[in-house]
Amino acid sequence: MNMRTCLWLATWIALTQPLLDRADDLFRLYWRGTYYTTNATGHIIARAFTEQDFVNKVAKDNGLDPSTLVFVYRPNKRDTVVVRSNGAFVADVIQMEYTYTDVRNPAGSVVVRQALLFDEYHESALGSWMGLEQLSRNAQGALVNDILAGWMQYSRPEINAVYAGRAYTGERVVDHTGTP
Confidence tier at 177 by pLDDT (50, 70, 90): confident
Please report the pLDDT score of residue 19 as a whole number. Answer: 39
114 band by pLDDT with thresholds 50, 70 and 90: very high
Mean per-residue pLDDT, 24-46: 96
Domain extents for the chain?
23-172
| Cα separation, 98 vs 16, whole angstroms | 34
pLDDT tens-digit profile of 130-162? Answer: 999 999 999 998 999 999 999 999 999 999 999
Start-end of H helices in the chain: 3-20, 51-62
- Among 50-54, 112-116, 119-123, where is mean pLDDT lowest? 119-123
CA distance linking residue 147 with residue 47, whole number of Å? 27
Q: What pLDDT, on a 0 to 100 scale, did the predictor assign at position 4?
A: 58
Neighbours of 105 (CB within 10 A): 10
Q: Which residues contact 22 (CB under 8 A, 6 or more apart)?
A: 178, 180
pTM: 0.83
Residue 20 has pLDDT above 50, yes or no: no
pLDDT, position 16: 41
Tens digits of residue pLDDT in 73-110:
999 999 999 999 999 999 999 999 999 999 999 999 99
Share of the chain above pLDDT 70, in %: 86
Average pLDDT of 30-43?
97
* pLDDT score at 179: 56
Q: What is the pLDDT of residue 68?
A: 97
Sequence letter at residue 107: A
- Whether the pLDDT of residue 11 is over 70: the answer is no
A 10 A CB-CB count for 157 gives 10
Residue 15 is predicted with a pLDDT of 43
* pLDDT score recorded for residue 22: 58
